[in-house]
Structure 1
Amino acid sequence: MPLIRILTIALLACGLDRLSKLWIVEWANLREILYIEVFDPYLNFAMGWNRGINFGLLAGHEEWTRWGLTLLAIGISIWLLWWANQQAGKWIHIGAGLVIGGAIGNVWDRIQYGAVADYLNMSCCGLRNPYTFNVADVFIFAGAGLLIVLSGRTTDDA
């Protein structure tokens, strides 16, 4: 049963990421127009192509980085699926499913586009954020947060 829960969450997360990228990057044509003001400065769509990891780190050597990070994400996802399937807590399963789904969404981008499609830009309080991210990143962050908070627990109690 844990395996089905983890895979269902991963599929939902990956599906929502893909749908958001189809809608914003492809159908709204953000790839070409590069910027759409939504609710400035709090939320805008700004096209960014991340060829590395967070904040563009490791973005050199594009083909090596592209396929190396793709294989790394797949390997970590397989390990996380194996590990989480052995855990008793449903929140561990949800956290792992979110991380896996987000990672696979970004892997899909690397295969399809050659880079991760980032498009969400959020700023506040007079500070302009120059960075972009995507829905997969939100799922990875939220899932990793759950896994960190719940680390060491063997059940959902406590």
Structure 2
Amino acid sequence: MMFWGAFWAFLLDQASKYLVIHWMGLSQRQSIDVLPPLLNFRYGENTGINFGLFDGGEDTARWVLIGLSLLICAVLAIWIRRSHRRARWMALAAGLVIGGALGNVADRLLYGYVLDFLNMSCCGINNPFVFNIADVFIFAGAIGLILFDRSAKKPA
């Protein structure tokens, strides 16, 4: 279950980036309004982590982030295999985190930065940040790991 979650998360992330950034030409157009203001495509090159944190643009930071991402994926996979063998939902959640992280690693290896394109705003609030499908899978997987962890101590 973990493998397939990672596989599909990675594939959908990379396919969405190819479709929107290259096929639809977002890298040249910079902006495509899909369902404004709720959903827009805005081109972004993220050399840091979420919301541009640690955005130094240095090549050393790029390789540190690649290494850190791979280390987290390995530790997560080992933890799930050892302690949650039969927990299908935990394995799927871990797979989503791993697939999303590997999608962003692939971007860093191919381009030197993570391609972001999703922008969502609502209710008079203009959100300046962009993200990608990998980020959605990482977030959903992290929530799943919290919700489906049966080994967590229940409140008395």
Normalised by the length of structure 2, the TM-score is 0.93
* Residue from 146, 149, 154 that aligns with 1:148: 146
* Residue from 14, 18, 21 that aligns with 1:25: 21
* Residue from 58, 65, 69 that aligns with 1:62: 58
Q: How does 1:25-64 map to 2 (within 5 A)?
A: 25-64=21-60
What is the distance in 2 between the residues matched to 1:142 and 1:61?
Answer: 27
What is the distance in 2 between the residues matched to 1:107 and 1:30?
Answer: 21
What is the distance in 1 between the residues matched to 2:13 and 2:101?
Answer: 10
Q: Which residue of 1 aligns with 2:154?
A: none
CA drift of 1:62 comes to 1.7
CA drift of 1:54 comes to 1.0
- Asked if structure 2 preserves the Cα contact closer than 8 Å seen for 1:6 and 1:85, the reply is no
Q: Deviations over 1:91-122 (max 9, x none)?
A: 10011000000000000000111111010000
What is the distance in 1 between the residues matched to 2:116 and 2:3?
Answer: 24
**Aligned partner letter, 1:74:** L
What is the distance in 1 between the residues matched to 2:14 and 2:38?
Answer: 23
* Residue from 91, 100, 106 that aligns with 1:93: 91
How many pairs are equivalent? 150
Q: Which residue of 2 aligns with 1:79?
A: 75
What is the distance in 2 between the residues matched to 1:51 and 1:76?
Answer: 18
**Aligned partner letter, 1:142:** A
CA drift of 1:63 comes to 0.5
Q: Percent of aligned positions with the same letter in both sequences?
A: 48
Q: Which residue of 2 aligns with 1:114?
A: 112
- Runs of 4+ aligned residues of structure 1 deviating over 6 Å after TM superposition are none
CA drift of 1:61 comes to 4.8
Q: Which residue of 1 aligns with 2:136?
A: 138
What is the distance in 2 between the residues matched to 1:144 and 1:98?
Answer: 8
| Residue ranges of structure 2 left out of the alignment (5+ in a row) | 152-156
1:143 match: secondary structure: helix
| Residue ranges of structure 1 left out of the alignment (5+ in a row) | none
What is the distance in 1 between the residues matched to 2:58 and 2:114?
Answer: 12
Could you say if the C-alpha distance between residues 137 and 8 of structure 1 is closer, same or farther in structure 2, counting changes exceeding 3 Å? same
